[in-house]
Amino acid sequence: MILPGLLLAGCVRPSNSTTVVRATVPKPTLTFAPKPTFTPFSPTMAAQVAPAEPTDTATPMVLRTETPAPTDTIPAEPTDTATPAPPTATPLPPLPPQKSLRMNSPEYGVQAFLWWRPEIAERDLLMIKDMGFTWVKQTFAWRDIEQQKGQYDWSHTDHIVYTANKYGGLDLLIRVDDAPDWAAPGCKNPAAGIIQGPPRDLQDFADFLRALVGRYKGRIRAYEIWNEPNLRREWCGRTPSPPEYAQMLKVAYAAIKSVDPNAMVISAGLTPTGTGPPEALPDDVYLDQLYQAMGGSSDGYFDVLGVHAPGYKAPPETSPEEAVSNPAYGGHRFFVFRRVEDLRAIMERYGDGDKQVAVLEFGWTSDPIHQAYAWHRVTEEEKADYMVRAYRWAAEHWAPWIGLMSAIYIADPDWTEQDEQYWWAITNPDGTPRPAYIALKQMPK
């Protein structure tokens, strides 16, 4: 199955134990001293103790000469012989209205898991629409679509895209990552059991993106390029490399825009963390180095900066300075929702203030089971209150530069209480609402 890799950043309160990184489906195993240090990772990083192989000696990405993207084989037209006429195809839903690359401040979205079960996809899309939200974030794993070069399985993506279009008023943000085996040979994450790293040849990624965007031109509003590249786990076991990711962004941007100039390209959300190489790069350090690798300008690389903004223990109005001074809040600037402001300051320092920021993941956990997250758990009622207040803070203090804010999650139907993601969700796996869903539905928008 496609495993949820869209999870929050920097959420482990560490002790002097070994620094760890999240796996795609985390199983936290750490123990923690009362006082946190600067090594926290995302709530999905806790299970991965050993980095993926290969190590930093792995072959870096390359970019070969561009070749035309493979296209789907189109059957020949029937002749005038006695061959029976094929059944009439179900008409596709109309194209959504074309929208500007500029978003309102904020726009409202939520992450869902629509891939494997069509009946659940329909249910969850209707729940999102019913809560008055207008964005759905969903992962399209490259490995599940193009298992062999040039051979595409569009069955799951067709259902997701056309169902969202059918209901109307729902914009799609598609996160594209997880290279197939043939594109990233030798790049395995043992803890997750899947490829988690960039392709060896970026032209393969460009070919895939052109095929994807060409099939859904005008139907998918935005694409997020990869996920949390400031983690070694997400970079094929190598030390995270802002210059390599800048190259990936540039290739992806050109491929997408060559097919659909109106599609929005969003950079990957970064994990808030204070851990350094080789396991990770702090999100603010990584972003600064990314701007340097882009020559000081994001033009031709992304339209919108993506960030992750978990709230941890603190209410959403808590400043980074207060998180540093208050041990109850973790003792570091990245332990608050308003960490976003630190990353925004880097954008402005490089003269990129005209571009918007998209919060691709934010929320709070009520987890009473996993010790990695117990120190910052809140009640379900507090979660509901904090999420509403986070949207209000953004509307009052971050306009006009804030765009989409994507909450987590509409729960995966297969999650149980043993999955740490279960405790971040705003619904139960059976589709019943939790207090946060109800509060967000009732919230003025």
Percent of the chain residues past pLDDT 90, beyond the cut: 74
Structural domains in the chain, sorted by start = 107-442 (3.20.20.80)
pTM: 0.83
- Please write the tens of the pLDDT for every residue from 147-173: 999 999 999 999 999 999 998 889 999
| Stretch (H or E) spanning 210 | helix 202-215
Residue that wins the pLDDT comparison between 396 and 18? 396
| 3 state SS of 80 | coil
In the numeric block, which tokens belong to residue 396?
């009052």
203: burial class by Cβ within 10 Å (0-12, 13-18, 19+)?
Answer: middle
Contact 164, 126 (CB under 8 A): no
Residue with tokens 């880097």: 346
| Residues whose CB is less than 8 angstroms from the CB of residue 77 and which lie 6 or more positions away in sequence, other chains included | none
Lowest-confidence segment of 78-92, 98-112, 191-205 by average pLDDT: 78-92
278 cis-preceded (ω within 30 degrees of 0): yes
